[in-house]
Amino acid sequence: MFCQATYAQVDSNQILPQITVRDIKPEQIGYSNWRADSLPIIFLRSASDQLASENPISIRTNGLGTLATVSARGMGPSHTPVFWNGINLQSPMNGVVDAALLPIWPGDQLEIRYGGQSAVQSSGAMGGSVMVASDWLQHPGFFGNLGASLGSFGKQEALATVGYGAASWRSMLRADWQQAKNNYPFKNTAKYDFPTEYRENNHLEKHDFQQFNDITLNAENRLKTGWWNQAADREIPQPITAAPKESRQQDRSNKAFVLWEHNKNARSLLQTKIAWFDEWIAYRLSGDADTSKSRSVILSSEYNVKTTKYLSFRTGGTATAQWAQADGYADSASWYRQRRLAGFASAVYQFSHGQLSGLLRQEWAEGQAAPFTWSLAGNFKLPLGNQLRFHCSRNFNMPTFNDRFWNKWGRPDLLPEYGYSTDCSWSMIQKSFRAEITAYNILIDNWILWQPGSDGIFRPGNLKKVWSRGLESMLGLDGQRGRWIFHAQLRYQYTKTTNIAVYNNASSILGKQLLYVPKHTGAAFFRLERGPFSCIYTHQWTGSRFVTTDNDKRLSAYQTGNFSCKIKIPLRKKRSCDLDVNLTNCWNTHFQFFEYQPLPGRAFQVGAAFLW
């Protein structure tokens, strides 16, 4: 969970391991990032739940199990892509990722990389990116686990993993099933005297299957494969101001990839990956059903080479084909298509006290113009454990299929959003103390916004220019007293995101904070460990958010606390039984992120798992 520079060595007298090309990727230079180190060791959690409990990044959600999106540095959800094992999960139809459906398994790595990254990651990465990397099968021999849990509001879960690891190949299969009624009590702020009521039409049932293989073909070649199948059936609760209606959404998806690595020597690496996505969504409201389908094929290849002690290069390209079909498009029976090509080249210069990187990227998109992008970044080590980082880049975001092809109201002539991003960070790392502060600035022009016209019908348009700027800070402390080990961290973020130009004469919103973007957020994290026992407390504070474009009305700030306690009971022959207790929203806070969409109060989950 501690935010560190990508090179962790601060002592010039320390003996370092041999540097390979894997350690000098340009996307690791200059960025401020956060890595979770308190991921669940027993049960699966959604990315939205994990981030909401530990990191002050903006999670926009209507409630338990419902659509949740991630927004970094005041940007929109389409400006914060989510990657699963290096593959962009953004929907080609609406440009967002439902973080409530993204599972974080025991052993997975969760990371946020802040700042504009279009030159590295392509379209959409303007405020930051979220990355999930699956556990790459580090266990020798047979291994697995089997567990179950129960929780508040009818939550039930069962999880199983089985795998085998040998010297030249490893394989793993894991499955999870969840069900919840989510009928939690809430205070109805839309009624007189705020009566307590219960959430209706909020049932969830979901299953996930994932299978991974890691095969070492010979000394130079390695093959990795991954497959993820998901099915979710969710009821969608209405705002508490609306009359109850029967509404539900069904999601079905298959995702798969194959990665080939050719590592001829320690100075070069060739990676080629092909990925395939197939997604289907059906939304039903009072008996009427709307369906949508999307498919994507992504082929990417990159070559890394370290030419001298100080200089390395990286070049590659990506070809993407996307198809979409939806009842809401002009021709609901046709598959709409777009093909994209991208080429990039980068260089990294390493010297005794830091690194510098530069990257250029050009894309071509069928039927659209894609801007030329670039980035420049650096890391610098200073005396006494101090470090400086900077990063600046040009970024862009392409219109989605919905923006372009929605029946009657879509606009094929929409321009890409584009802009610039700059970051500057200072950090200090001592034996037990860490501190960091980052200042950032993001400018986006041609912001695409769906808004109603004089007839009340929503239409998309390149309607404004947005400026986001702010500060991020972190303090961390580690310590040990006897056999007790503790970790503590405090984080605070200030974000000011305003309209600085409007192209439809709506001058009343100039200089106003964007909707649902809190100016102030903070988090505190405390972990205590002793042998097989550990407990964690996280506290999140979210400032007030405006709910009208003229900033005349706002939702109140709120705080939530979460507590988790785990114990591992060793058994014979490298087996163990893990017990887990989680308490979310400990202080039973009544709050809403979106107006008239109440979130749950205090809830618990208890479970046990057998591991071997």
For 226-283, what is each residue's pLDDT tens digit? 999 999 999 988 888 887 778 899 999 999 999 999 988 888 999 999 999 999 999 9
Q: How many CB atoms lie within 10 A of CB 524?
A: 16
Mean per-residue pLDDT of the chain = 87
* Beta carbons of 417 and 394 less than 8 angstroms apart: no
Return the percentage of the chain with pLDDT > 90, whole number.
56
Side chain identity at residue 240, one-letter code: I
Task: Give the confidence band of 35 by pLDDT, cuts at 50, 70, 90.
Answer: confident
Task: Give the pLDDT of residue 31.
Answer: 84
Q: pTM of the prediction?
A: 0.90
Contact yes or no for 351/333 (Cβ under 8 A): no
Cβ-contact 214, 136 below 8 angstroms: yes
DSSP designation for 62: S
The per-residue DSSP string of 564-581 comes to EEEEEEEETTTEEEEEEE
Q: Give the mean model confidence (pLDDT) for residues 420-427.
A: 94
Measured in whole angstroms, the distance separating CA 567 from the mean position of its chain's CA atoms is: 28
Side chain identity, residue 39: L
Question: Residue 9: pLDDT above 50?
Answer: no
- Token pair belonging to 54: 């530990």
* Out of 44-58, 187-201, 335-349, 357-371, least confident range: 44-58
The whole-angstrom separation of Cα 90 and Cα 530 is 41
* Residue 190 pLDDT class (50, 70, 90 cuts): confident
CB 543 within 8 A of CB 557: yes
> Over the Cα atoms of the chain, what is R_g?
24
pLDDT band at residue 138 under the 50/70/90 scheme:
low
pLDDT at 426: 95
Give the residue-averaged pLDDT of 138-144: 81
Q: Strand 533-542 and strand 458-481: pairing? A: unpaired
Q: Tokens 């306690």 correspond to what residue?
A: 565
Indicate the SS3 state at residue 2: coil
User: 286-291: long-range contacts (C-beta < 8 A, 24 or more apart)?
Assistant: 286/245, 286/246, 286/247, 287/246, 290/326, 290/327, 290/328, 291/326, 291/327
From the centroid of its chain, how far is CA 219?
34
Q: Which residues of 85-106 are buried (b: 16+ CB within 10 A; e: fewer)?
A: bbbbbbbbbbbbbbbbbbbbbb
Q: How far is CA 185 from CA 49, 150, 530, in A?
A: 19, 18, 37
> How would you write 420-478 as a 3-class SS string?
EEEEEEEEEECCCEEEEEEEEEEEEEEEEEEEECCCCCEEEEEEEEEEEEEEEEEEEEE
The first and second tokens of residue 563, run together, are 């507590």
Of 419, 372, 368, 366, nearest to 398 by C-alpha is 368
Q: Are strands 204-216 and 354-365 parallel, antiparallel or unpaired?
A: unpaired
Tell me whether strands 433-452 and 417-429 are parallel, antiparallel or unpaired: antiparallel
pLDDT reading at 19 higher than 50: no
- Over the stretch 270-314, which tens digit does the pLDDT of each residue have? 999 999 999 999 998 877 888 999 999 999 999 999 999 899 999
Percent helix / strand / coil, the chain, rounded to 5: 5, 60, 35
Tell me which residue of 201, 157, 186, 172 sits closest to 40, measured CA to CA. 157
User: What pLDDT does 14 receive?
Assistant: 35
Low-confidence winner among 104-108, 119-123, 133-137, 215-219 (lowest mean pLDDT): 133-137
Return the pLDDT at 229: 97
Beta bridge partners, 560, equal 540
What is the band of 3 on the pLDDT scale with cuts at 50, 70, 90?
very low
**What DSSP state is assigned to residue 585?**
S
Per residue in 144-188, pLDDT (tens digit) is 889 999 999 999 999 999 999 888 899 999 999 999 999 999 888
Question: What is the pLDDT confidence band of residue 319, given thresholds at 50, 70 and 90?
Answer: very high
Q: Is the pLDDT of residue 40 over 60?
A: no
* Interacting residues of 139 by C-beta distance below 8 A, sequence separation 6+: 163, 165
What band does 41 get if pLDDT is binned at 50, 70 and 90? Answer: low
What is the C-alpha separation between 477 and 39, in angstroms, rounded? 19
Structure tokens at 594: 């979106």
Q: Which residue has the tokens 């405390």?
A: 526
Q: Quick check: 207 pLDDT over 90? A: yes
CA dihedral 191, 194, 199, 200 (to 10 degrees): -30
Q: Find out whether 566 and 576 touch, Cβ atoms under 8 Å.
A: no
Quote the strand ranges of 482-557, DSSP E.
484-502, 520-530, 533-542, 545-546, 554-555
